[in-house]
Amino acid sequence: MSSEIAVAGRLAAKARASARQRRLTAWGGLYAFLTAGALLVLLPYLWMVVTSLKPDEDMFKVGILNSILPSEIRWENYVEAWSNYPLGRWLFNTFLVASIETVSTVVTSVLAGYAFARLRFWGRDVLFLLYLGAMMVPVQVTLIPSFIIVRSLGLLNSYAGIAILHLVQFFGVFLMRQFFLNIPSELEDAARIDGCSWFQVLWRIVLPASMPAVGALSVLAFTAGWNNFLWPLVVINKPEIMTIVVGLASMRGEVTPWGQLMAATAISALPLTVIYMACQRLFTQGIVMAGIKG
């Protein structure tokens, strides 16, 4: 009997070791896959930074090592890019426009999302489906009508002309509605019984609990405003009003200063990197909690 117990114990220990080995192998494979994916995503950024430090004669050298490693580190590319082009002005323009679009997107998305999630009015579901349909319309389809409207309003070459097209974003309404649906309605019912209006319920009860979604929406809206290229390119032809992405495109010509261009590109990526790193936890939490309920 004792020998059978010992054999059973050895078999159980071997089974546990085998299961542990399988888990370690699975987790190891998963982390290897994620690491490879992260390196693949970071590769263009690494190439951008390395190229921004190369002298002009290294830009088109043949060979893997020659194309990756610079013959010398040339920090002057950053100094020359900042002094030869109005990068400060372009960054200010972009930050101003992106901030206006972000604030407007958050305000309109919170109000409209809460109305679609909690208020009952005629045609609510049909209107929300129209919102979802509008998300599927490419911006190129509405480019010419939008340009005609902005031109008739006299908003060409102005901050208002750049921002007006993205003051309301349908994705933001969808995101906030999905998040509001996950908040227990009992909290709002209790506030309504205590005499709060719908706006007071939103401001005092719902909005404080929705900060992860608001943070995620703010990051997404600011990133979209910062990287927007097509619409500013259409409504701007003055260098002093250019956003950073349009300004970077204007640096290309018959003779392109690639080192300065890559240095300016690296500088333009810094604000978004800082913002995302600062709001990473809030951004991830908001996206996960929004879910797909409803």
CATH of the domain at 267: 1.10.3720.10
pLDDT recorded at residue 9? 58
138 in the same domain as 35: no
pLDDT over 90 at 102, yes or no: yes
184 plus 269 within the same structural domain: yes
Whether 117 and 201 have beta carbons less than 8 Å apart is answered as no
Residue 37: the pLDDT is 87
The answer on 85 and 8 residing in a single domain is no
Structure tokens at 35: 């690491």
Instruction: Answer yes or no: do 25 and 164 share one domain.
Output: no
Flag whether 229 is in a domain: yes
* DSSP designation for 122: T
Phi, psi of 228 (to 5 degrees): -65, 130
36, part of any domain: yes
32 & 109 share domain? no
Q: Is 60 inside a domain boundary?
A: no
Asked if 238 and 201 sit in the same domain, the reply is yes
Instruction: Say whether pLDDT at 27 is over 70.
Output: yes
Do the domain assignments include residue 61? no
Provide the pLDDT for residue 162.
92
Among 61-65, 66-70, 103-107, 182-186, the minimum mean pLDDT is found in 61-65
Residue 168, phi then psi, degrees to nearest 5: -125, 130
Can you read off the two tokens belonging to residue 13?
A: 């220990």
Q: Structural domain tally of the chain?
A: 2
Q: Report whether pLDDT(133) > 60.
A: yes
Q: Residue 196 in contact with residue 136, Cβ under 8 Å?
A: no
Same domain as 146, residue 6: no
Q: What does the alpha-carbon distance between residue 196 and residue 274 come to, in Å, rounded to a whole number?
A: 39
- Considering the domain boundaries, does residue 70 fall inside one? no
Same domain, 184 and 216: yes
Q: pLDDT per residue over 215-252, tens digit each? A: 888 888 999 999 999 999 999 888 889 999 999 988 88
Give the domain extent around 18.
Answer: 2-52
The pLDDT of residue 291 is 47
Question: In the predicted model, is pLDDT for residue 288 greater than 70?
Answer: no
Selected residue with higher pLDDT from 99 and 257? 99
139 & 241 share domain: yes
In a shared domain, residues 41 and 106: no
Whether residue 68 is contained in a domain is answered as no
Select the highest-mean-pLDDT range: 90-99, 113-122, 173-182, 281-290.
Answer: 90-99
CA distances to 30, 103, 219, 283 from 99, rounded to whole Å, are 38, 6, 10, 17
pLDDT of residue 235: 92
Q: Is residue 266 part of a domain?
A: yes
Q: Examine the pLDDT at 292 and tell me if it is beyond 50.
A: no
Same domain, 45 and 154: no
| Same domain assignment for residues 275 and 132 | yes
